[in-house]
Amino acid sequence: MNANLEELRTKLDTVNKELLRLLNERAEVVQAIGEIKEKQGVPKFDPVRERKMLDELTALNPGPFRDASIKHIFKEIFKASLNLQEEDHKRQLLVSRKKQPENTIIDVKGNLIGGSAQVMIAGPCSVESYEQLRTVAAALKEAGIKVMRGGAFKPRTSPYDFQGLGVEGLKMLKEVADEFGLATISEIVHPGHIELAEQYIDVIQIGARNMQNFELLKAAGEAKIPVLLKRGIAATLEEFVHAAEYIVVKGNTQVMLIERGIRTYEKWTRNTLDISAVPLLKQETHLPVLVDVTHSTGRKDILLPCAKAALAAGADGIMVEVHPDPQTALSDAAQQLDIPQFQQLWEGMRNSGLFTE
Ligand code: PRE
Ligand code: MN
């Protein structure tokens, strides 16, 4: 009896090995099909093909496995095959860490982003006046912060809201940044403004609402300066990564990602800060990953713990909005820090031991 069991098990071992070989032989064919699909740009998942194979296999099924079991087993094989094709696709993305294991480090006027040190980016939501910019720039300089943000083209929810100073705003940003020795980041919303941006600013921001504005992404891919790409308000990480790929594939490899909160049912914050995005994006891509604590929370009272969480999760930098007199700000008045609040946040971040300068 025992000898018989042993014998049967030995037989199964041989069958298992044969199945293993066949499964991997099948997987190689699946990968070859995946490559063709990738080139043709057709979807990997093909339910019609899967149904046809299941019908054929159940029609041929001699048993003793029931048709339902055969279907179940093959569906699992199809699922694993699809995963394989999708993994191969991800591996091929230029932004993928599988394609480039080492971090992309971006040089913004001598400030390295994505390396061993973190970056703090601060400044007003919108550029409003020279006086406003100079007050912020002086505070940043005093704090040792090197990169200033400021919006000139403002994509606002309402057309009646302040739309930004446009090119004038970019010029003001440059003038003040040069005066204080700062680098600048500002949002560009039109593909035709990319060249203009190169003249006045150091980093082009592509805003959350434009994350899938593909013509803008392509134009940013032709730019000679780095791009800070914000996650869309309802974008999955898969969509976010592919948006970055649009820029990189055009030749601009200097792309940084920034998590800025996603829309959920939660009302106590403006958006929900998706902390898991930080380690996931670091794992899946080689690009620097930053966190915008201001727009994700839309509040001023929880910025320090959120910034610390972002740094602990591996973020390469933090972005925050600062205004000399937030109450009179022409945009995002409720969430911008005044200068003393900003100094307090900055001190808290530096004392946390999580921020490496
Ligand atoms: C395969 C994989 C995924 C598709 O959903 C359908 C079939 C399979 O494993 O058989 C292969 C394949 O990509 C294809 O035949 O088009
Ligand atoms: Mn803002």
Instruction: Name which of 230, 243, 221 is nearest 155 in CA terms.
Output: 230
Ligand 1 site, residue 54, Cβ cutoff 6 A? no
| Whether residue 181 sits in one domain with residue 54 | no
3-state helix, strand, coil in the chain (%, to 5): 50, 15, 35
Boundary (domain end) residue, out of 68, 92, 116: 92
DSSP string, 293-355: HHHHH--STTHHHHHHHHHHTT-SEEEEEB-SSGGG-SS-TTT-B-HHHHHHHHHHHHHTT--
Considering the domain architecture, whether residues 137 and 272 belong to the same structural domain is answered as yes
Asked if the structure places residue 356 within a domain, the reply is no
325, part of any domain = yes
Tell me the residue range of the domain where 173 lies: 106-351
In the reported structure, the alpha carbon of residue 270 is separated from the centroid of ligand 2 by a whole-number distance in angstroms of: 12
- CATH for 72: 1.20.59.10
Residue of the nearest CA to atom 16 in ligand 1? 46
147, 246: one domain: yes
Ligand 1 atom nearest 49 alpha carbon: 6
- Quick one: 236 and 162 in the same domain? yes
Q: Is the CB of 243 under 6 A from ligand 1?
A: no
42 and 130 inside one domain? no
Q: Is 57 in the pocket of ligand 1 (CB under 6 A)?
A: no
Same domain, yes or no, for 159 and 192?
yes
Instruction: Please name the residue whose Cα sits nearest to atom 10 of ligand 1.
Output: 78
Verify that 314 and 246 share a domain, yes or no: yes
Which of the ligands is closest to the CA of residue 35?
Answer: 1
Whether residues 278 and 237 share a domain: the answer is yes
Tokens of 197: 């941006």
Q: Is residue 97 part of a domain?
A: no
Q: Looking at residue 91, what is its pLDDT?
A: 80
Do 151 and 8 lie in one domain? The reply is no
Q: What are phi and psi of 285, to 5 degrees?
A: -125, 170
Domain match, 28 and 118 both: no
Q: In this structure, is residue 56 part of a structural domain? A: yes
The CATH number that applies at residue 213 is: 3.20.20.70
* The pTM of the whole model exceeds 0.80: yes
Which pLDDT belongs to residue 126? 96
Judge if the beta carbon of residue 130 lies within 6 A of ligand 1: no
Looking at residue 40, its pLDDT comes to: 93
In a domain? residue 46:
yes
Query: Do 110 and 72 fall within a single domain?
Result: no
β-bridge mates for residue 184, sequence order: 148
Domain tally, the chain:
2
Domain contains 163: yes
Check whether residue 140 and residue 277 sit in a common domain.
yes
357: in domain = no
Question: Which helix or strand (DSSP H or E) is residue 106 part of?
Answer: strand 106-108
Residue 49 near ligand 1, beta carbon < 6 Å: yes
Element (H, E) at 279: helix 277-284
194 domain-assigned: yes
Query: Mind listing the pLDDT tens digit of every residue in the chain (357 residues)?
Result: 577 999 999 999 999 999 999 999 999 999 999 999 988 989 999 999 999 999 999 999 999 999 999 999 999 999 999 999 998 888 889 999 989 999 999 999 999 999 999 999 999 999 999 999 999 999 999 999 999 999 999 888 888 898 999 999 999 999 999 999 999 999 999 999 999 999 999 999 999 999 999 999 999 999 999 999 999 999 999 999 999 999 999 999 999 999 999 999 999 999 999 999 999 999 999 999 999 999 999 999 999 999 999 999 999 999 999 999 999 999 999 999 999 999 999 999 999 999 988
The pLDDT of residue 157 is 85
CA–CA dist 42, 33 (Å, integer)? 11
Q: CA angle, 166 as apex, 123 and 207 as ends, to 5°?
A: 60
* Reported ipTM: 0.81
Among 204, 180, 202, 181, smallest CA distance to 191 is for 204
